[in-house]
Amino acid sequence: MEGTSLLPLPQGLQMTHLEKLETSLMIHVLSTHPTCRCPLCHAESDAVHSHYQRYLKDLPCCGQQLCLQLTVGKFFCQNQQCQRKIFTERLPEFVQPWAHTSNPST
Ligand SMILES: [Zn+2]
């Protein structure tokens, strides 16, 4: 199924597959950024700790519920001085419109 035109993804995000659920369509998206900046000290890290999955949903599309499973990286902060040992990759430009949709109060 051709899904790349369904959801415009910023650079570094890759759609892995689409899953048709009973009442919704689940889009699996993987972040492929090799490095990430620590949100606390802004040091760039390429030491991946693990991967973290988050779910974004509630965006109706063509009468169907659209869900997004986003896999992002967890990184070690390589700055010895930094209090933040591990941080999760954030994709605010991409996640915020979705987060906003699913949590109107925040
Ligand atoms: Zn840091």
26 CA to centre of ligand 1 in angstroms? 33
Residue 38 has a pLDDT of: 96
Q: How far is the CA of 19 from the CAs of 31, 49, 62, 68, 89, in angstroms?
A: 18, 27, 16, 10, 24
Residue 95 has a pLDDT of: 77
Contacts of 7 (CB under 8 A, 6+ apart): 15, 27, 29, 68
The owner of tokens 């986003």 is 70
Residue 1 has a pLDDT of: 45
Going from N- to C-terminal start, the domains of the chain cover 14-102
CA 42, 46, 51 angle in degrees (round to 5)? 100
Residue 104 has a pLDDT of: 44
Residue 74 has a pLDDT of: 96
50 CA to centre of ligand 1 in angstroms? 17
77 CA to centre of ligand 1 in angstroms? 5
Residue 24 has a pLDDT of: 86
Residue 40 has a pLDDT of: 96
Give per-10-residue mean pLDDT for the chain (106 aa).
62 91 90 94 97 82 81 96 95 72 47
Q: How far is the CA of 21 from the CAs of 31, 66, 80, in angstroms?
A: 22, 10, 45
96 CA to centre of ligand 1 in angstroms? 23
| Half-sphere exposure of residue 97: CA atoms within 13 angstroms, side-chain side | 8
Residue 59 has a pLDDT of: 66
105 CA to centre of ligand 1 in angstroms? 30
100 CA to centre of ligand 1 in angstroms? 27
